[in-house]
Amino acid sequence: MRPAAEPAAGAGCGATFLPATDAGCEEIATRFRALSEPMRLKILRRLARGEASVGEILADVGGTQANVSKHLAILHDSALLDRRKDGTRTVYSIADPALLRICSIVCEGVERGARDKADAILGTARYAPRLRPARRSGLPSSD
């Protein structure tokens, strides 16, 4: 296996798909940690349809207002959500559309893995490897 190429001097995330500094790694890890809770993914699923208030999100995802508000704060503090005041309501939206692309890529990988696992269990693999029967020394071949 060859080592990965060194990033060019001054290269950021775009050149290597990984941050060039330890601080960048920490920032990205914070965002991924924020995505590691199923309730937060449910919130993002709701916000993918458009901005919503805490009450609207709560109606879709369930839970308590305190719990949903806590998760919204974590997503906002991680720079994944924007929020704005609309009268007495706070309205949330997804801060960067790239977040939805990332979630889509991960979802596709999960679906692919589930299909592969089901294929293996059911014996319906589309790309099953061709196996040759093992030959034992000294026995005639049936070829």
Residue-wise pLDDT tens digits, 12-58: 555 557 888 999 999 889 999 999 999 999 999 999 999 999 999 99
Give a yes or no: residue 103 inside a domain: no
Residue 38 lies in a domain: yes
Q: How much of the chain exceeds pLDDT 70, in percent? A: 76
Residue 75: inside a domain: yes
| CATH number of 61's domain | 1.10.10.10
Domain count, the chain: 1
Q: Distance between CA atoms of 85 and 60, rounded to whole angstroms?
A: 20
In a domain, 77, yes or no: yes
104 falls within a domain = no
Is 123 within a domain? no
Better-scored residue on pLDDT, 105 or 13: 105
Range of the domain at 67: 18-95
Domain contains 29: yes
Specify the amino acid at residue 70.
Answer: K
**122: in domain:** no
- Runs of H (alpha helix) within the chain: 13-16, 22-34, 38-47, 54-61, 65-77, 98-122
Dist CA 15 CA 7 (whole Å)? 7
Residues 5-17: what's their mean pLDDT? 50
